[in-house]
Amino acid sequence: MCRFTYGLLLSTTTAFALTVAAIPSAQAQTYTNLYSFNGQNGGKLPYAGVTIGPGGVLYGTTSEGGHSDYGVVYRLAHRGSGWILSTLYEFKGGSDGAFPYSGITFGPGGYMYGNTYSGGDGNYGTVFRMSAPPGPCLSISCPWPETVIYRFKGGSDGAYPLFSDVVFDQAGNLYGTTTGDSNGNAGTVFKLTPTGGGGEWTETILYSFTHGESPYAGVTFDKAGNLYGTTANGGYMGSGCPGGCGMVYELTAAGSGWNEQTLYEFQGGADGAYPFGGVSFDPSGNLYGVTSFDGAISTVWELQRSGSGWTFSTLYTFDVYGGPQGKPTLDAAGNVYGSVFDEDQQDSGLVYKLTPSGGGWTETNLVVFGQGNNGRFPYGSVVLNASGNVYGTTLMGGSQGNGNVWEITP
């Protein structure tokens, strides 16, 4: 069975509670550990961040855990002075799917969607859909029915969707990426279209990578319906990254197909290399992303529209062994938030905020991980609610060592 590993990515394995001690940070933020994963039914190793659903409820996945140790989908809801975690689904492996490294997306009709890295046909991964149980829930934990809507076949069909949160267009079609396999496939961007009335979906490969390679993150739409993303490898082959330093791409619909344009190829110097995370837009249509160049330079960067092209700039450089992995999150004021994965055994990562200041950017550490039981190794993206609270996960640490879900309040 195939299982993804990179750096400190680890392979190891209802309703639970509650709130652990709040830790004030040096910047007058308050950090709270909302839930520490128990490594069993509640799951463990949450690579993905959380999704905020109706009523401020948090939803997410753990890559492992559950009775079969193939990962779970969970729901974390605020109750009184604490938080209650419910396991909504435990993956079974085989045709059902296994190891969800990506997060949850709400789609048309209130369904939740995501993918698994493995399982399905030939263990090439799946895309799944979940719906709330019919009727009222009379207990703390109510499982949600799960349906596999597509099983990847490998080769030209695509294989191993990794950190690819799926997205939808206005017509209800689903989009994502696969990372590639050993059959000469360097990764794909795919589209799933609902067909018929029986829940069937049809896959279309929009683009198969040749210059870029390993699109670990998913895609992002602009206002015109074009798709943007990154590949972790391929592109310019610098001395520090012989497999290619990675690149940023755009896909534009053209007739019955899609055209790919490379917007930027990382050089492995001051610009960084290996953009594992996806991209985010600001209101002006500028792109933001990150690189994760182990032991060298890890960056937060911007591609600014300039006429018919794009101008690259580095907003901030982190001196860590690891780097930011999830795509940046922007607030209404133009501040940029994210997490940084650091394999240093004292400080195991941080949550950052970049604030525009005097033509440059000022960086603030909202919390540094690895202190007490506040978690270690944040991997996924962070999200903000309407009150400006920041939410995310750590891969490990917490009171039980299997990762946690946290909150930072102003």
- Quick: pLDDT tens for 325-361: 999 999 999 999 999 999 876 679 999 999 999 889 9
DSSP per-residue codes, 108-166: GGG-EEEEESB-SGGG--EEEEE-PPSS---SS--PPPEEEEEE--SGGG-----B---
- Cβ atoms within 10 A of the Cβ of 251, count? 19
Q: What is the pTM of this model?
A: 0.92
Look up residue 87 and give its amino acid. Answer: T
Cβ atoms of 14 and 87 closer than 8 Å: yes
Query: What per-residue confidence (pLDDT) applies to 20?
Result: 35
Does the domain spanning 15-135+147-409 belong to CATH 3.30.360.10?
A: no
Q: Which residues of the chain have pLDDT under 50?
A: 1-26
- Tokens found for residue 290: 């990150």
- Residue identified by tokens 């690149």 is 247
- Quick: pLDDT tens for 237-286: 977 898 899 999 999 999 888 999 999 999 999 999 999 999 999 999 99
Query: What per-residue confidence (pLDDT) applies to 344?
Result: 74
CA distances from 297 to 176, 195, 217, 346 (A): 28, 46, 20, 19
Main-chain phi, psi angles of 123, to 5 degrees: 60, 35
CB within 8 A of 304, min separation 6: which ones?
Answer: 286, 310, 311, 313
Query: What per-residue confidence (pLDDT) applies to 17?
Result: 39
Query: What per-residue confidence (pLDDT) applies to 13?
Result: 31
Tell me the residue ranges of DSSP E strands in 266-297.
Answer: 280-281, 287-290
Query: What per-residue confidence (pLDDT) applies to 408?
Result: 97
Q: What are the boundaries of each domain within the chain? A: 15-135+147-409
Distance CA 321, CA 301 (A): 18
CA distances from 394 to 79, 91, 340 (A): 22, 21, 10
Sheet holding 105-106, edge to edge: 105-106, 112-116, 126-130, 146-151
Query: What per-residue confidence (pLDDT) applies to 42?
Result: 82
